[in-house]
Every structure is written in C-alpha cells, then in structure tokens.
C-alpha cells in the first residue's frame, strides 16, 4: 500500500539524481529524468502536491494580467504549455471561456481589454480559441447575477481549468512507469554533507520518525517557497535569500449560492484580480496577495481578513446574491514562490518567470515560475545535469501523453466503491486519510458521488492507514 522505508533490505542507497520537493516542479523533474533513463529519487516532507501545487487557482493559463507588466515571453510560454497539456491530459484539464466584465470608469477601459485579449491570442500563436467582446446585454445573459450599474460589457477569452493535485500525482505516476524512478512522500531532507562530488543525505520518514541516509551525485531542489527556509542556514553554499513569499487564499462556495456557469474575472479597485470559477459542482473563489505572518510556512490556512476580502468583493460584483461566511464549504491557502527583484517588495508586480541557481556544479535550485510552466522549468534545471552526465537530452520527450491514470478522475462522477478504494490504496501512495480524501478522491463537496456502501470501505481504508 504505502512506500516501505527507503533503507529497507534491497532498497537502493545511491541515486544519480535526488530531487527534493514533490510539488509540480519536482514531479516534472522526476518525469523528465525518468523518461531519459536516469535513475532518480524524488522526496517530499508531506504528501505529494499537498503544499503550493495543491493550493493554486487551478488554472493552466497564460496569465492575462502579466501583460500589464510586459511579461510577454512568460505569457507566450505559458499559453503554449497550457495548450500542450490540454492535448496531453484532457481528463485532468479542460478549456473554459473566462468572462472579464468591463465597467465604466474602471482603470482597465474597453480599448485596453480589447488590445490585451488580441495580444493574448497572438502570443498563443492563435492556438487559443479566439476571444470576443460582449455588450452589456449579452454579458448579463451569460452572467445574470453580475452587478449591472455602469456595466459596459465583457471580454471573453479562453484558458484552462486543471485539477492541480491530480496532475502532479499523474506526472509522478507516469515517471514511476520507468523502473529507474522512485518517489517517497512523507520523507524530509533534514541535512546533507558534501563529500567531494557526492552528497550524503540525512532523511526522516515524517510519519514513522525513522531516520535513514543515502547518497547522490546530483542534488536538485524543487522546494518552491520553502527553499530559503532550508538553504539560508547553509553557510557553505553562500545562499542569500532569493524569495519574496506571497500568500494567496481561496474559498469553495456552493454553486446553489453562487450560480454562475462561466469563470468570471473580477477586477476590484485595488488593481488586483479575483477569479470566480465554477467547477466540480462548486465555485472556487480566489485569490488574495498578502505577506506571511511570523511562523507561517507549511500547511497554511486563510486568515479572517483574507476571507472577508474575498467575500466583500463577491458581494460587490454579485450584489443580489446573499453570500456569507456560513456558506463557505472549505478554504485553502498557499505561498507563491516569487523571486525577489532587487529591493522591491511589491508582490503583485514581481515577475513570475523562473530562475535556476547552481550554488555548486551539481547542486541545482529552481525558483519562481508558475504551475503552468512546470515542464519547461524542469527542462531548464535538468538539461545541464544531462550534459554533465554526457547523455543526450531530448526536448520533446516530455511531450508524450501520461500513461497511468489515477482511479478517480476529477471532473466526472466519482464512482467510489470498494474496488476503487482498494486500487487507490494499493497504487497511489496513500499514507494518511487526508491523502486519500483531499488528493486521491479530491472532490470539494464531502460525500459527492460516493456510492452507497462505500462509507464502510472508507472506514476500512482509514483503519488500514492508522494501523500502518
């Protein structure tokens, strides 16, 4: 069912590559290395995709608002990646029309929206479904609950909705189809020693508290927003803080309370954007952009002020719907791994491009970027490793479809019977009940679609987990 400890008899104790971090970037690195036949291990301190990569706005997108900061290369790269994943993993993401309402007196007037949307289509090499602009009557037909006062119309453009945790998991499952790949969740890198060109890693199973060690020739950090926290104390690497961590929170609301059929992009007066995205029988609302509180790092939750910020903007844009805190189904929060731009602390203006660092020739770190661009991020860190190993690197290897599907796919019904639960427990690296409920089943409505009689099977799965 779950991974045996890595130091159990017969288990490999040396790897060509060890990747720290099992979010989307670590997963992308593992898959790329595995498809190139390099033996590689990826570890995560918690469950795979349980941190930032399971707490995103769940969009594969070019990032319409990065046009305002002139990040055209990033938008173009992201749009191409979005359109690639729509082809490679159509069961995990789908295209949706996003409505961007335009109001009289807004800081983003109609001409600006029209120009931005034309540019967006151009930067996708016209692979995007083309945008259109609606007048106010058609906008209200599509979104009848939207505030009418001063409404001029809406820009309609196309991005993708993705189940972020599931895509990360399936990238890992695809890597594990290659015998040279290995992945361990709940395995923390505590420390490492440098012995010439080799790294001696000290690891801990965070559930059993078992400590063990292994060695590697190449150590790659895909620890996203947690990187400075781990590397700052390493004086031997001369690491200086590189991140400008930015917390973002989301709410799930019931579709009956927020009845919209299309994703809407709200543009409050503070210059931010808030996405309101119907999916999986509920509506996802986010996000915020705030600094971290002292001590906040892993497993974050939204603050009261973030929740009320999102709710008050919803009330402003959908004044006829009576939404309150009591309607919230659940909430989640994550940290954007933004890279510092000199002394600037303006998080909303910080670039979303990624950066690779090489504190030593065989110790690489990748920061920044977006969920959408994980494949090219992984390529930029892996390419130099392959060169040093003297092995050919094929840029197109990762453009193949995923080979192993998870038992529960996100957007259809959730046929969760005893057989499905058993298959998940045996094949999907489940080690805690929250792994099972939040990421392997992963529906926002508790109980949604679960077959009658399966509650007993769930309880049995829970019993198996606690007696591990």
Cβ–Cβ < 8 Å for 419, 455: no
Question: Contact between 224 and ligand FAD (CB under 6 A)?
Answer: yes
Question: Contact between 20 and ligand FAD (CB under 6 A)?
Answer: yes
Residues 6+ apart with CB under 8 A from 76: 62, 123, 124, 125
Cβ–Cβ < 8 Å for 121, 290: no
Question: Contact between 223 and ligand FAD (CB under 6 A)?
Answer: yes
Instruction: Compute the distance between CA of residue 352 and CA of residue 224 in angstroms, rounded to an integer.
Output: 13
Query: Judged by CB under 6 A, which stretch of 50-58, 317-325, 404-412, 460-468 contacts ligand FAD?
Result: 50-58
Question: Contact between 444 and ligand FAD (CB under 6 A)?
Answer: no
Query: Judged by CB under 6 A, which stretch of 33-41, 43-51, 254-262, 304-312 contacts ligand FAD?
Result: 43-51
State which of residues 62, 153, 334, 364 lies at the interface with ligand FAD (CB under 6 A). 334
Question: Contact between 31 and ligand FAD (CB under 6 A)?
Answer: no
Q: Which residue is nearest to ligand FAD (CB)?
A: 23
Instruction: Compute the distance between CA of residue 232 and CA of residue 254 in angstroms, rounded to an integer.
Output: 42
Query: 34 or 151, CB closer to ligand FAD?
Result: 34
Question: Contact between 432 and ligand FAD (CB under 6 A)?
Answer: no
Backbone angles phi, psi at 11, to 5 degrees: -80, 140
Per CB under 6 A, contacts with ligand FAD among 91-110 are none
State which of residues 17, 41, 51, 431 lies at the interface with ligand FAD (CB under 6 A). 51
Q: What is the DSSP letter of 236?
A: G
Number of residues near ligand FAD (by CB under 6 A) = 39
Question: Contact between 226 and ligand FAD (CB under 6 A)?
Answer: yes
State which of residues 6, 17, 23, 39 lies at the interface with ligand FAD (CB under 6 A). 23
Question: Contact between 364 and ligand FAD (CB under 6 A)?
Answer: no
Cβ–Cβ < 8 Å for 349, 271: no
Query: 290 or 321, CB closer to ligand FAD?
Result: 290
The least distance separating ligand FAD from the CB of residue 456, rounded to whole angstroms, comes to: 32
The least distance separating ligand FAD from the CB of residue 178, rounded to whole angstroms, comes to: 20
Residues 6+ apart with CB under 8 A from 461: 421, 425, 430, 433, 436
36-to-281, 377, 383 alpha-carbon distances in Å: 39, 16, 11
Cβ–Cβ < 8 Å for 354, 380: yes
| Rounded to 5°, angle at Cα 31 from 406 and 46 | 65
Cβ–Cβ < 8 Å for 220, 192: no
Query: 365 or 450, CB closer to ligand FAD?
Result: 365
State which of residues 2, 17, 22, 243 lies at the interface with ligand FAD (CB under 6 A). 22
The least distance separating ligand FAD from the CB of residue 26, rounded to whole angstroms, comes to: 5
The least distance separating ligand FAD from the CB of residue 373, rounded to whole angstroms, comes to: 7
243-to-221, 246, 402 alpha-carbon distances in Å: 14, 9, 32
Residues 6+ apart with CB under 8 A from 299: 46, 50, 51
Binding site for ligand FAD (CB under 6 A): 20-26, 43-46, 50-53, 55-59, 61, 188-189, 222-226, 230, 248, 287, 334-337, 369-372
């Amino acid at each position: 069912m779950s991974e045996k400890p890595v130091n159990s008899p017969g288990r490999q104790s040396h790897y060509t590559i060890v990747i720290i971090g099992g979010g989307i970037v670590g997963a992308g690195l593992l898959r790329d290395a595995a498809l190139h036949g390099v033996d590689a291990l990826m570890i995560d301190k918690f469950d795979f995709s349980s941190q930032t990569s399971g707490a995103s706005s769940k969009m594969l997108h070019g990032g319409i608002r990065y046009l305002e900061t002139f990040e055209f290369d990033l938008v173009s790269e992201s749009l191409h990646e979005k359109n690639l994943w729509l082809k490679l993993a159509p069961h995990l993401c789908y295209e949706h029309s996003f409505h961007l309402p335009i109001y009289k007196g807004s800081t983003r007037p109609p001409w600006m929206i029209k120009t931005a949307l034309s540019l967006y289509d151009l930067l996708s090499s016209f692979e995007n479904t083309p945008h259109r602009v609606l007048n106010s009557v058609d906008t209200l037909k599509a979104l009848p609950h939207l505030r009418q006062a001063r409404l001029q119309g809406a820009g309609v453009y196309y991005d993708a909705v993705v189940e972020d945790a599931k895509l990360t998991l399936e990238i890992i499952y695809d890597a594990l189809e290659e015998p040279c790949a290995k992945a361990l969740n709940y395995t923390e890198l505590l420390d490492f020693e440098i012995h010439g060109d080799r790294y001696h890693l000290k690891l801990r199973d965070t559930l059993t508290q078992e400590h063990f060690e292994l060695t590697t020739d190449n150590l790659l950090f895909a620890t996203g927003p947690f990187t400075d926290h781990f590397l700052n104390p390493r004086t031997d690497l001369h690491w200086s803080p590189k991140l400008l961590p930015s917390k973002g929170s989301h709410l799930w609301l019931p579709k009956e309370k927020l009845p919209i059929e299309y994703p809407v992009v709200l543009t409050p007066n503070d210059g931010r954007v808030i996405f309101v995205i119907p999916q999986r029988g509920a509506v996802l609302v986010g996000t915020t952009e705030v600094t971290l509180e002292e001590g906040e790092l892993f497993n974050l939750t939204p603050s009261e002020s973030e929740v009320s910020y999102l709710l008050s903007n919803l009330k402003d844009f959908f004044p006829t719907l009576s939404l309150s805190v009591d309607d919230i189904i659940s909430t989640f929060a994550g940290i954007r791994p933004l890279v510092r731009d000199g002394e600037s602390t303006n998080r909303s203006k910080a670039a979303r491009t990624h950066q690779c660092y090489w504190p030593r020739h065989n110790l690489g770190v990748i920061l920044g970027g977006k969920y959408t661009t994980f494949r090219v991020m992984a390529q930029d860190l892996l390419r130099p490793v392959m060169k040093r190993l003297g092995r050919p690197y094929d840029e197109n290897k990762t453009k193949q479809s995923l080979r192993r599907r998870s038992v529960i796919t996100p957007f259809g019904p959730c046929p969760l019977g005893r057989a499905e639960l058993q298959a998940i427990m045996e094949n999907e690296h489940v080690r805690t009940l929250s792994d099972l409920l939040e990421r392997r089943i992963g529906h926002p409505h508790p109980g949604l679609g679960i077959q009658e009689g399966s509650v007993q099977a769930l309880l049995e799965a829970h019993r198996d987990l606690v007696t591990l």
